[in-house]
Amino acid sequence: MTNKLYDTSLSLLTDLYQITMAYGYWKSGTAEKEAVFNLYFRKHPFSGGFTIACGLTNVIGYINNFSLSKKDLRYLRTLTGNDGQPLFEEAFLDYLANLKLTCDIEAIPEGTVVFPNEPLVRVRGPILQCQLLETPLLNLINFESLVATKAARLRLVAENDTLLEFGLRRAQGIDGGMTASRAAYIGGCDATSNVLAGKLYDIPVRGTHAHSWVMSFADELEAFQTYADVLPNNVTLLVDTYDTLQGVRNAIEAGRTLVQKGYKLAGIRLDSGDLAYLSIEARKLLDEAGFTDTAIVASNDLDETIINSLKQQGAKINIWGVGTKLVTAYDQPALGGVYKLAALRQESISPDEESGWDYKMKLSEQAIKISTPGIQQVRRFRNERGFVADMIVDENSLNDTDSTTSMTMIDPLDFTKRRTFDAKQEFDDLLVPVFRRGTCVYTSPDIHSIRARVQEQLANLHPGVKRFVNPHTYPVGLEKQLHELKTELILKLRERNEQ
């Protein structure tokens, strides 16, 4: 990984079935057969209208470090089947020991807004290698994209207020905490309380103090004054240990001493009770005492709905500290990203000619679960007001169309809905080359640029797509040729099944 948390190789961070399938491909002589897999999700999290792509930097780190160590192989050698015999033969383990990834990988850059069914990552290469990457890629992209999306929603309601991520203590283990801190910053938080994330990922760190500080003194005023003496340049006082408004008065008193010494009372923090009422009353007390610049921080199981409601109630809160509900993505703890085979190289007929592709898809009774075949690109059309629509297009047909041809997009859920974009319509192709034959050809932007990208992207989305209640569906469709190809393939597969 880019910033190493673990001393051990992560190459076995996959499901056993990926390795048993890899063995199957190797044993049956198809390991090198060229395949294309797409990683995509089917539904936005949190009943929202957009998702933020995140996790690519860690995917790159994972792939760059992919190599099975002697210890990994020793472990695989111990695995047995239900007859007690080894699962894998020695020659396969030798093959794995020498395996170097040679895939071509395209991906949508981190911080981009993305929509259902769009490939966020496309992996093309020997099927055995593509298969081994399925689980780690999903693990890395699903969680980070989920948390980045949650943070982006919080940023939308927090508007220009400061947003702090306080989640480490309630996060899902070490990696849950570290990954969430990174994704939360990218999604729109201003800082984290997680110091290791600050160090490893270059995220600003911020914080106040806990109730234990106040409780460790005989009285609250003494606790505040001591804190202000020790850290006069970083004083945000938690005022709700005993009685919030009395706590504010004590903070003001400690603040007066700070001012006399040439420092300032940076803030107070509310962590219980009616945060709207208490912030309004605290603001009055602070302003009356001349502490008009002192910020009011609020925490206590906040999420975007509560922040929105507090704002509507006229709460005087400038800084929001959000922990549990952000880092655990409380109301939807997983993004359902999937990784599906989309094309397989045909048997070569002549050694001089490159053979074509067999397009592959998974059928389902539910239209939404039918995968899309082909070597896909996502073309995002835009105009001066922002993003207009995304079209999933097969790269082979892109190669066939010249720059003067218009393109027609079909709504996958209602084929009668069509939209034509003429050649003058501006667009960006979202998938960019990340690996070429196993070598990384992409430099991840620094974390601050990725974070800035999220806000630029959101500014290009219609407000209706960003609203929380019944958001408007951003148009995503299939390019006409790809749609026709998919329909034909569905009919063929259904016909074959009926026979």
Ligand X SMILES: O=C(O)c1cccnc1
Ligand Y SMILES: Nc1ncnc2c1ncn2[C@@H]1O[C@H](COP(=O)(O)OP(=O)(O)OP(=O)(O)O)[C@@H](O)[C@H]1O
Query: Would you count residue 318 as binding ligand X (CB under 6 A)?
Result: no
Q: Any idea which residue has 């990922």 for tokens? A: 201
Q: How far is the CB of 284 from ligand Y (least distance, A)?
A: 16
Does residue 165 belong to the site contacting ligand PRP (CB under 6 A)? no
In sequence order, what are the beta bridge partners of 427? Answer: 381
Q: Which partner, ligand Y, ligand PRP, ligand X, none, binds residue 273 by CB below 5 to 8 Å per kind?
A: ligand Y
Residues that bind ligand Y (CB under 6 A): 272-276, 300-302, 306, 309-310, 313
Residue 311: C-alpha distances to residues 240, 276, 317, 375 (Å)? 20, 8, 8, 46
Kindly state the smallest distance separating residue 38's Cβ from ligand X, in Å: 39
Q: Which is nearer to ligand PRP, 128 or 322 (CB)?
A: 322
Residues 321-350 that bind ligand PRP (CB under 6 A): 321-325
Residue 192 found at the interface with ligand X (CB under 6 A): no
User: Applying CB under 6 A, does 435 fall inside the site for ligand PRP?
Assistant: no
Is the distance from CB of 327 to CB of 181 less than 8 angstroms?
A: yes
Binding site partner of 170, from ligand Y, ligand X, ligand PRP, none, Cβ cut-off 5-8 A by kind: ligand PRP
Please give the span between the terminal C-alpha atoms of the chain, in angstroms, as a whole number: 49
Q: Which one among 33, 170, 362, 436 touches ligand PRP, defined by CB under 6 A?
A: 170
198 binds ligand X (CB under 6 A): no
CA 458 to chain centre: 15
Q: Of the candidates 25, 62, 143, 166, which one interacts with ligand X according to CB under 6 A?
A: 166
Give the Cα separation of 208 and 227 in Å (integer).
Answer: 10
**CA gap 50, 335 in Å, rounded:** 12
Q: Is residue 297 within a helix (H) or strand (E), and if so which, with residue range?
A: strand 295-298
Q: Looking at residues 199 to 218 of the shown chain, list those that interact with ligand PRP (rule: CB under 6 A).
A: 210-212
Out of 24, 86, 207, 232, the residue judged to bind ligand X by CB under 6 A: 207
Q: Residue holding tokens 């004083």?
A: 235
323 touches ligand X by CB under 6 A: yes
Residue 168 contacts ligand PRP per CB under 6 A: no
How many chain residues are in contact with ligand X, going by CB under 6 A? Answer: 8
Give the whole-angstrom CA distance, residue 194 versus residue 206: 8
Question: Within 10 Å of residue 112's Cβ, how many Cβ atoms?
Answer: 23
Length of the chain counted residue by residue: 499
Query: Which lies closer to ligand PRP via its Cβ, residue 271 or residue 479?
Result: 271
Cα three-residue angle 125-128-132, rounded to 5 degrees: 100
Distances (CA, A) of 139 to 62, 91, 263, 349, 442: 11, 29, 46, 38, 21
Does 162 bind ligand PRP (CB under 6 A)? Our answer is no
- Interface region with ligand PRP, contact rule CB under 6 A, candidates 136-144, 279-287, 298-306, 446-454: 298-306
The secondary structure element, H or E, covering residue 104 is strand 104-107
Q: Choose between 35 and 327: whose C-beta lies nearer to ligand PRP.
A: 327
Does 302 sit near ligand PRP (CB under 6 A)? Answer: yes
Q: Is 166 a residue that touches ligand PRP (CB under 6 A)?
A: yes
Token pair listed for 425:
């319509």
CA distances from 87 to 92, 327, 406 (A): 10, 38, 54
Residues that bind ligand PRP (CB under 6 A): 166, 169-170, 210-212, 271, 299-302, 321-325
Residues that bind ligand X (CB under 6 A): 166, 193, 207-208, 269, 299, 321, 323
